[in-house]
Structure 1
Amino acid sequence: MTEPSGETAPEAEDLAPEDVEPSAAPEDAPTAPDTAGEAPAEGNTETDTEAGPEPETAEAVEEDAESAESAEGKADGGADAAGGKDAPELSEAQAELAAQRELRARIEARKAGKDGTVASGAKLSGTAADLLAAVRAVEGGASSGGVLHEPAPEPPRAARPAGPAVRPPAPAAPPAPTAGALAGVREVLARGGAPEALAGQVAAALGEQAAEALTEDPWRLLAVPGVRPEQADGFARALLGGACGPDDPRRAVALTVWLLDRAALRGHTALTLDEARAGLAAFEVPDPGKAVDTAVFEGAVLLFQEESPEDGAYEGDEADGGDDGDPVAGEPEGSPAEGGSAGPVEPPLLGLDRYALAEESLADGLARLVRTVTAAEWDGDELTRAVGGHGLVLHTGGEASRAEPAALAAAARERGLRVLVTVHDAERLGPEDREAGTAVPLAALLSGTAGPGRDEEGSLALDLLVVLDAPQLDVETAAMLVEALPDGCRLVLSGDPDVLGAPGPGAVFADALAARVCPRVASRRPDPGPLGELVSGIGIGELNQVGAPGKEVVIVPVRDAGEAVHRTVQLVADSVPRAFGLTPDQTRVITVGHGGSAGTRALNAALKQRLNPGPGRFGGYDPGDRVAYAPVPGRTVAGTVLGADAEGLRLRTGDGEVVVPKERVESALRHGWALTAHQAAGGRWPAVVAVLPGDAAPGLSRPWVYTAFGRAERHLSVVHGVDQALPRAVAEVLAPARTTRLRPLLIALLATAGEE
């Protein structure tokens, strides 16, 4: 077996663990969909194993809907221990969600004024017949003239002067469902045999008229996270009796939307028609093609046919340090990213309006930045010269390459420009950045709690924004960010294209690289030391032996999952601290999934008993517990429990002290000594223990291994039980492609940017 290091635990005297038997850590069987640290919350689910490089949210729920009642009971119990009423002020999560809604509303308002765009949530009245005809025309090889096309690019706009920077007031939280609305929903759920504990989720998903909507269309229960089609079918049969059938048009529409929601959990923003029909056939829909037509006619989903230009290659790539047509990770052969010849049109796609809106807004916003920046001659390295002459620049490289955008930002400040660097994980900010405010977490920038103020139009007071960890951008976050940038602002997206992609839908960084419509600067700085050598080899599909004189990399062979948990606890609690002088809080455990006998739940249970034993008196948590908190879907924040009071559970995080409302403890929090690779993708720690028990083999891929091993700064221990599955995954298993629309949209808007 090819090992990533010449060291193994038994031969490494300083790391030889003592035989310490951790308590049994049986697999937790949650009674409700578990969403902490995952995104998006809509439809968020969980399995025992991560599906390769797909996001954590690609987990399939296999738990009964009635289990939500038990979950609510547990949440209430924990809340009672936390003690008291809801906080009168907005929580961090509420403020952030409200800020995102406000920005999304602004995007929708701008898009609504354009021809050819369907307003969010609206039916396709007036164009439905054309759309249905277009579906059949595309299938028959005819012209696609009736399908939605992108509007013509906007003409260049003059850069608007920056207004005075102001900090907007915190947006109002959405109104909670009224008692009457909840009572109506409970009554309908009871008639359909569904647990009344789902009432709050139903009301949140369907609004104040949820009871009427559910009575009219029982399959709308599928809008509730974790509800499966067979459960919705049973609910519909109880309400409709003999009028319920598998060919009911309401069922067809709900299932089509549900399939697209599930696809979003795997990172897709759209599905091909064939994929949608196959998914519907799996649920015994008699005529999947007719079902798709119905969903399009009702305006529940949108149909797209994108033009596919011959090549979107940007003329300035080579001069500006691009990769000269090297294939982009995850891009199939012959694609425009490789300079291959594409067909006249892309396959027709189905999508939800929220992701269609986000991708169109993002493409328009990036094109706006490109066209409104005035080119200037900047002296310096490749990256600096590229940014001087262009509004959008992509920068790729490993950990060592992060110094280049930092140097760019410093040089731009010396030119008198308003510059900000934003990062995915607040823990990666240095003390000097925090003090000077020169770098802020992306979530804090979008919510308005950090960064520059905004002018009267809602634009950030910036001339240059550098986004690190750009592969972690999902399409909706990226759209909100770009929409907030003023005309004439330069944008640099920087990151490592080999890491796992965003936890939410979309492949923003990969799509922008593949479109080849702007300068791409590839860093030539190698990551240093044995860890850098190991991870660099993984990036090209080679799991090499590396010299580790300082025990930078150690292999810990295990026979089964129980032994993997045992050895992991020893490493975190004893061996790594003794050998490297690190505290357990400076070590992260990374494993393949949440469930299973060596998943995050089992590992966290064992680690808690060893590192911070306690009764879990605050909803399952004790002061000092390490946690992973999801303030909003799609973002994991590491923190430590401080205690609880009437407002909820108090945490200390990289963003400061935050309060988790008592009703969100169950769904938004996990113990955080052990994480999945997707949760860990934006962070880095002095030591990492990667846990690979034998049953983890199906979840391994090159991006997963690259991401997990690359989170370590000084030391990596590999708890190894997968034998040859590890080198095979590194050599052969790539990230599955995400189905998105951003690449062709960017090509259509910016393919001529070099000529302009």
Structure 2
Amino acid sequence: MTTDPETTETAPRPEKPEDGADTREAAAAGAQPAEPSTEDAPAAGTGESEAAAGTTEDQDSAAQPSEAEAELAAQQVERERIERRKAEKKGPIEAGGKLSGKAADLLAAVRAVESGEKPVASAFSEPAPAPRRPSAPEPVRRTEPVAPPVAAAAPAAEAVGAVRAVLAGGGAPEALAPQVAAALGEGVDARLRADPWQLLRVPGVRPEQADGFARALLGAECSPDDERRARAVTVWLLEQAALAGHTALEVPALEAALAQRSVPDPEAAVHSTIAEGEALVFQDALETAAPTDSGEDEEDENRPVRVLIGLERYALAEESLADGLARLINSVPKADGSAEDWDRAASSARGSAAELLRAVAGHGLVLHTGGEASRVEPATLLHEARRLGVRAWAATHSPAGRDLFAALLTRLDLPDAPAEPTQPALATVAGLLSGAEGPGRDADGALDLDLLIVLDAPQLDVETAALLTESLPDGARLVLSGDPGVLWSAGPGRVFADLLAARACPQIASRTPDPGPIGDLVSAIGVGELPQVDAPGKEVVIVPVRDAGEAVHRTVQLVADSVPRAIGIPAEETQVITPGHGGAAGTRALNAALKERLNPGPGRFGGFDPGDRIAYSPVPGRTVPGRVVKADAEGLHLECSGAPVVVRKERVEQSVRHGWALTAHQAVGQQWRAVVVVLPGDAAQTLTRPWVYTAFGRADRHLSIVHGVEQALPRAVTEIPAKPRTTRLPVLLRPQIPTAG
């Protein structure tokens, strides 16, 4: 590595962290529910801590549905189909017959809740089992077609007015009325007066704000031990945990978080939340190190368990995902092309691509891992499958990723290509599910395809993954491809990592290395090392800085001057990546400085001018890069990956940011010719190995590192792995896949 692109001074090799430096507490902290920052409401797609504040849709909008509204409505229709399908399945096998003591008491309490009774008072002392789903034969496919997307109706003016009056009486901002009316539904004003803590169900509202609202409305009747407050805070904490990536929380972690929120009796709070049906309780058996010699019955009875509390929507999604994955793994793929045809195609491919083709020929679910260069292998698979007459499609997480994959297909110049339609067989995951892209649906409501290759698989959260698997027809093949070292999904779950750990299907690890000094550096980071790489062409340079102000100054200098002059890459092809939105060198500060240098203007439309580089978040969990074209009475006109987008004025503040600087979570699935990674001193505590791996790996030709964290960088790479997430997918898959491994 060198320092500035225009100098030849060699930067010293980063020292190894001192012996005894303990950063495990920072990694372990990820098991607790994340606290969203009140300083910033980050754009969607920013991942764990960055996504905590969320992105809310403005419900007081025009009658015409927007792209985001249509997409959300389409996904809601699909979720309703999943619920109906689950209701049609056979009832669960009775579980817990061999349990005893307090665990059996809690199981009895759960069943009492299901029958409409209150749980027994002693029930929550220990974990309770949830009813176990049977290892049933292949489920019956649904036959109902997918309904067209319908935008959610804006709340009635009368309802908004009634909510505004209640908010005013409680000292809350009246501007919040449309959001509250949309989130809480019919009769919201009466519900708020009866239970002011219902305000916590509105995204962005925090417990201290709901407490102030309740004190103003209830007066002397308001007390910290109010059962309504305890239930509302419990549900809120579970929502915050989902924003941090968990699909459920272990009971001790949830009770500790409740105690931190001044809930006097956390155990009673969880007990009450379950009794009212606002959360579900699960008891999952843990794998033991080795089976006992005393028989299967005794082994089941003594097997350790863990108790989890979760929200119904994520429990439903995770169970549906496990069902869909089991269906793919246990089914025989549709006979598209003879075995000899697939074998000939594999023989003509090279290296890991041949292994991938052979695995896909005989299996319904295949996992493929590798870095950016390994994308050539799923590209080869897509080409060969279509040449065999298979209805194959590939889906990426973002439009930019789709365009990169399309460019790769073009560069490969594969021979004997079939006559392609006007549009290549590429889509985004969101477009595929909403029907805006892809092959469409068949008469049964399933996707009209035989093979689906999903790139950027680590970005799949449990809800999106469940929708995808439920949408596949019987006999279809699914290939999940991605780099396991990058940051996980913005939404709850760790689907790709859980499947890799389960070893329930073929896994093809690419042997195609990422090229050049940047590839060498990123590969080393992936295994926990931070070496000094040889970069004779200034592919990697380090720019030391002393403080955040200097970091912003040097970043602007690099993007606008040094990289274009010394490396030959223009500013519009250079991306800045920094750990967060706030702070003196976060995306807000960097974007303000870069706009002033690269596209100054008055910002008459919400701070934007034509030519501004932007990051557009149509729905929570997705970020699309683009540029501002113009602004008029219709709204802010954008161009995103070649497609025109109009964002209405009232939605601009929530869904559009300047995009010269992004977070690593927003940049996943994309690459730029040059990347400037900014590491200010105040970001030292947030760095992890996956973050560094993801940020550095976004660079294709040149990487500049604005370095102000000293030894925190090598420490993060060597000692701080991904923050743990609590999920149930491995446990749900275990009984459904007897041949796992």
TM-score (norm 1): 0.82
State the partner residue of 2:71: 96
* Structure 2: distance between partners of 1:169 and 1:415: 32
Contact 1:358 1:479 in 2 (8 A): yes
Deviation at 1:158, TM superposition (A): 8.3
Deviation at 1:170, TM superposition (A): 4.4
2:575 aligned counterpart, secondary structure: strand
Say which of 303, 311, 328 aligns to 2:281.
Answer: 303
The amino acid across from 2:83 in the alignment is E
> Could you say if the C-alpha distance between residues 270 and 135 of structure 1 is closer, same or farther in structure 2, counting changes exceeding 3 Å?
farther
Are residues 1:202 and 2:180 paired? yes
After TM superposition, the structure 1 = structure 2 runs for residues 493-508 of structure 1, keeping only pairs within 5 Å, are 493-508=480-495
Contact 1:628 1:636 in 2 (8 A): yes
Deviation at 1:44, TM superposition (A): 6.7
Q: Structure 1: where are the runs of 5+ without partners?
A: 15-41, 63-67, 77-84, 313-340
Are residues 1:594 and 2:581 paired? yes
* Structure 1: distance between partners of 2:289 and 2:376: 32
> Could you say if the C-alpha distance between residues 135 and 363 of structure 1 is closer, same or farther in structure 2, counting changes exceeding 3 Å?
farther
1:11 aligned counterpart, secondary structure: coil
The amino acid across from 1:394 in the alignment is L
State the partner residue of 1:172: 150
Say which of 175, 200, 217 aligns to 1:222.
Answer: 200
The amino acid across from 2:256 in the alignment is A
* Structure 2: distance between partners of 1:423 and 1:510: 18
Deviation at 1:361, TM superposition (A): 0.7
* Structure 2: distance between partners of 1:48 and 1:731: 30
State the partner residue of 2:377: 404
Say which of 565, 568, 573 aligns to 1:581.
Answer: 568
Structure with the larger RCO, 1 or 2 (CA within 8 Å, 6+ apart): 1
State the partner residue of 1:286: 264
2:306 aligned counterpart, secondary structure: coil
Contact 1:306 1:348 in 2 (8 A): yes
Contact 2:235 2:279 in 1 (8 A): yes
> Could you say if the C-alpha distance between residues 150 and 661 of structure 1 is closer, same or farther in structure 2, counting changes exceeding 3 Å?
farther
Say which of 631, 634, 638 aligns to 2:618.
Answer: 631
The amino acid across from 1:155 in the alignment is P
Contact 1:86 1:662 in 2 (8 A): no
2:691 aligned counterpart, secondary structure: helix
The amino acid across from 2:167 in the alignment is L
Say which of 377, 382, 389 aligns to 2:362.
Answer: 389
Residue deviations 1:688-730, cap 9 Å, x none? Answer: 0000111111111111100000000000000011111111111
Say which of 111, 130, 137 aligns to 1:148.
Answer: 130
State the partner residue of 1:183: 161
* Structure 2: distance between partners of 1:743 and 1:615: 53
> Could you say if the C-alpha distance between residues 727 and 234 of structure 1 is closer, same or farther in structure 2, counting changes exceeding 3 Å?
same
Deviation at 1:683, TM superposition (A): 1.1
2:252 aligned counterpart, secondary structure: helix
Stretch of structure 1 that moved more, 180-189 or 511-520: 511-520
Contact 1:47 1:594 in 2 (8 A): no
The amino acid across from 1:401 in the alignment is S
> Could you say if the C-alpha distance between residues 257 and 486 of structure 1 is closer, same or farther in structure 2, counting changes exceeding 3 Å?
same
Deviation at 1:372, TM superposition (A): 2.8
* Structure 2: distance between partners of 1:643 and 1:169: 34
Deviation at 1:150, TM superposition (A): 2.5
* Structure 2: distance between partners of 1:374 and 1:181: 52
Say which of 439, 459, 464 aligns to 1:477.
Answer: 464
1:719 aligned counterpart, secondary structure: strand
Are residues 1:112 and 2:87 paired? yes
* Structure 2: distance between partners of 1:87 and 1:300: 32
Deviation at 1:10, TM superposition (A): 6.3
Are residues 1:717 and 2:704 paired? yes
Residue deviations 1:638-661, cap 9 Å, x none? Answer: 110111233211110016111112
Q: Structure 2: where are the runs of 5+ without partners?
A: 11-33, 94-109, 291-299, 347-353, 411-420
Deviation at 1:743, TM superposition (A): 1.4
Residue deviations 1:79-102, cap 9 Å, x none? Answer: xxxxxx966532211111111111
Contact 2:664 2:691 in 1 (8 A): yes
1:621 aligned counterpart, secondary structure: coil
After TM superposition, the structure 1 = structure 2 runs for residues 314-353 of structure 1, keeping only pairs within 5 Å, are 344-353=303-312
* Structure 2: distance between partners of 1:128 and 1:45: 38
Say which of 203, 217, 242 aligns to 1:264.
Answer: 242
State the partner residue of 1:253: 231
State the partner residue of 2:519: 532
Are residues 1:370 and 2:343 paired? no
2:284 aligned counterpart, secondary structure: coil
Deviation at 1:310, TM superposition (A): 5.1
Contact 2:46 2:666 in 1 (8 A): no
* Structure 2: distance between partners of 1:86 and 1:287: 42
Contact 1:642 1:650 in 2 (8 A): yes
> Could you say if the C-alpha distance between residues 349 and 138 of structure 1 is closer, same or farther in structure 2, counting changes exceeding 3 Å?
same
> Could you say if the C-alpha distance between residues 151 and 102 of structure 1 is closer, same or farther in structure 2, counting changes exceeding 3 Å?
same
* Structure 2: distance between partners of 1:105 and 1:746: 22
The amino acid across from 1:656 in the alignment is A
1:89 aligned counterpart, secondary structure: coil
State the partner residue of 1:517: 504
> Could you say if the C-alpha distance between residues 617 and 13 of structure 1 is closer, same or farther in structure 2, counting changes exceeding 3 Å?
farther
Contact 2:5 2:563 in 1 (8 A): no
The amino acid across from 1:111 in the alignment is K
RMSD of the TM alignment (CA)? Answer: 3.2
Say which of 7, 11, 17 aligns to 1:11.
Answer: 7
2:374 aligned counterpart, secondary structure: helix
1:689 aligned counterpart, secondary structure: strand
* Structure 2: distance between partners of 1:307 and 1:287: 27
Contact 1:149 1:306 in 2 (8 A): no
Say which of 564, 571, 577 aligns to 2:551.
Answer: 564
Deviation at 1:43, TM superposition (A): 9.8
* Structure 1: distance between partners of 2:315 and 2:46: 20
Deviation at 1:311, TM superposition (A): 8.7
* Structure 1: distance between partners of 2:5 and 2:565: 14
The amino acid across from 1:113 in the alignment is E
Deviation at 1:48, TM superposition (A): 6.9
* Structure 2: distance between partners of 1:424 and 1:220: 34
State the partner residue of 1:55: 47
Say which of 659, 670, 677 aligns to 1:690.
Answer: 677
State the partner residue of 2:105: none
Deviation at 1:45, TM superposition (A): 5.2
Residue deviations 1:419-438, cap 9 Å, x none? Answer: 00011121132356795322
> Could you say if the C-alpha distance between residues 640 and 132 of structure 1 is closer, same or farther in structure 2, counting changes exceeding 3 Å?
farther
* Structure 2: distance between partners of 1:175 and 1:686: 43
Contact 2:74 2:149 in 1 (8 A): yes
The amino acid across from 2:78 in the alignment is L
Deviation at 1:132, TM superposition (A): 5.7
2:285 aligned counterpart, secondary structure: coil
Deviation at 1:737, TM superposition (A): 0.8
Deviation at 1:580, TM superposition (A): 3.1
State the partner residue of 1:335: none
Contact 2:577 2:695 in 1 (8 A): yes
Deviation at 1:156, TM superposition (A): 2.6
Say which of 689, 695, 703 aligns to 1:702.
Answer: 689
Deviation at 1:344, TM superposition (A): 2.5
* Structure 1: distance between partners of 2:443 and 2:708: 58
